[in-house]
Amino acid sequence: MKEALFWSQEAKAVRCELCPHHCLLSEGKSGICGARKSLEGKLFSLNYGAIAGMAVDPIEKKPLFHFYPGSRIFSIGTVGCNLHCPFCQNNGLSRFFDEFGGQSEKLEHLSPEELIDLVERTKSEPIIAYTYSEPVVWFEYVLETMQLARKKNIKNVLVTNGYIEEKPLEAWIPFVDAVNVDLKAFTEAGYKKLGGTLEPVKRTIQRLFEAKVHVEVTTLVVPGINDDLTEMEQLAAWLASLSPELPLHLSRYFPHHRYHAPSTSLDLLHRVKEIAKRFLFHVYLGNVVEDASTFCSQCGKLLIRREIYSVEVVGLQHGRCISCGKPLWGHYAD
């Protein structure tokens, strides 16, 4: 447990200012995320250093397709989340505190220094992904670890729902190299079903993009939540207003947790992809077995061949198409 950042006192309560919920917490109460608690007039992080998942993954699993493709990335995660998606695929972690009555002190703990030492001794690229559950509610630990990683020339990747306030985001930005933001819907009605609002997530994506952080976006296409084709067209058009080169990953939903609608049909998923490709050059399907290769947006040459997690860079040299010379948006090993 560690005293949290970004909170203020209000009478006999504390106001968390980490995310747009702005939870007002009386003594002994935790926020919506479950991971931040009011104690003795202060706000504390309950999951500081608590490790719920750790593995070396293909970077494509995050998913990141335009950031050092083919790399093996050290992935780490904790417990808690500030949204309540009924179809959550990691609900054992995200709902650890409220639904499972979890006690984070019983989890393995690593200090930022211990984690960096472990990464340096592991057979992976010098990249850490903060993933599995929501890194926003692990804010203090992620910030301290990213700061140490930067000093060691280790890159930092966030896999996040983007539901964070502006000041905490600005504190993170200098240390973030790449991010995949889960843009869960493109209407306020859709986000209401998930316990959040749309505009803060859009603001996060735009600010990261403006700060020249490498950004990719994932949208899980869920029947009854965000499967309206007009909504998906608006989502793609908005991303294209930032850049038509920005990669979009459209993933197939399967019933899980508290949501039991039928799986996303492949026909719908392909129709959404066709719509998105009117606006964006790089659109990929996730949770399906099919070609996910990258092609030059100018001449159409195959640049990166992907078969599940088997990746081969075939048409790039110094980040440019070897046929026409157009740069491929992203970051690539020379």
Per-residue pLDDT tens digits for 264-305: 999 999 999 999 999 999 999 999 998 899 999 999 999 999
Give the C-alpha separation, 114 to 225, whole Å.
Answer: 41
Domain positions in the chain: 2-45, 50-289, 291-334
The residues pairing with 215 across neighbouring beta strands, listed in sequence order, are 179
Q: Please report, as a single letter, which amino acid is at residue 69.
A: P
Q: Which two tokens stand for residue 240?
A: 């294209």
Main-chain phi, psi angles of 103, to 5 degrees: -120, 110
Amino acid 105: pLDDT: 85
Give the C-alpha separation, 78 to 97, whole Å.
Answer: 11
Outline where the chain has alpha helix (H): 91-94, 112-121, 139-151, 166-172, 188-192, 199-210, 229-242, 266-276
The conformation of residue 30, written as its DSSP 8-state character, comes to: B
Binding-site residue set: 81, 85, 88
Residue reference for tokens 């070396």: 56
At 51 the three-state DSSP class reads strand
The residues pairing with 317 across neighbouring beta strands, listed in sequence order, are 320
Chain center to CA of 57: 15
At 76 the three-state DSSP class reads strand
Binding-site residue set for [4Fe-4S] cluster: 81, 85, 88
Amino acid 168: pLDDT: 98
Residue reference for tokens 């993954």: 57
List the pLDDT tens digit at each of the 334 positions of the chain.
899 999 999 989 999 999 999 999 999 999 999 999 999 999 999 999 999 999 999 999 999 999 999 999 999 999 999 999 999 999 999 999 987 777 888 899 999 999 999 999 998 899 999 999 999 999 999 999 999 999 999 999 999 999 999 999 999 999 999 999 999 999 999 999 999 999 999 999 999 999 999 999 999 999 999 999 999 999 999 999 999 999 999 999 999 999 999 999 999 999 999 999 999 999 999 999 988 999 999 999 999 999 988 999 999 999 999 999 999 999 999 7
Amino acid 320: pLDDT: 97
The conformation of residue 67, written as its DSSP 8-state character, comes to: B
The verdict on domain 50-289 having CATH code 3.80.30.20 is no
Amino acid 219: pLDDT: 98
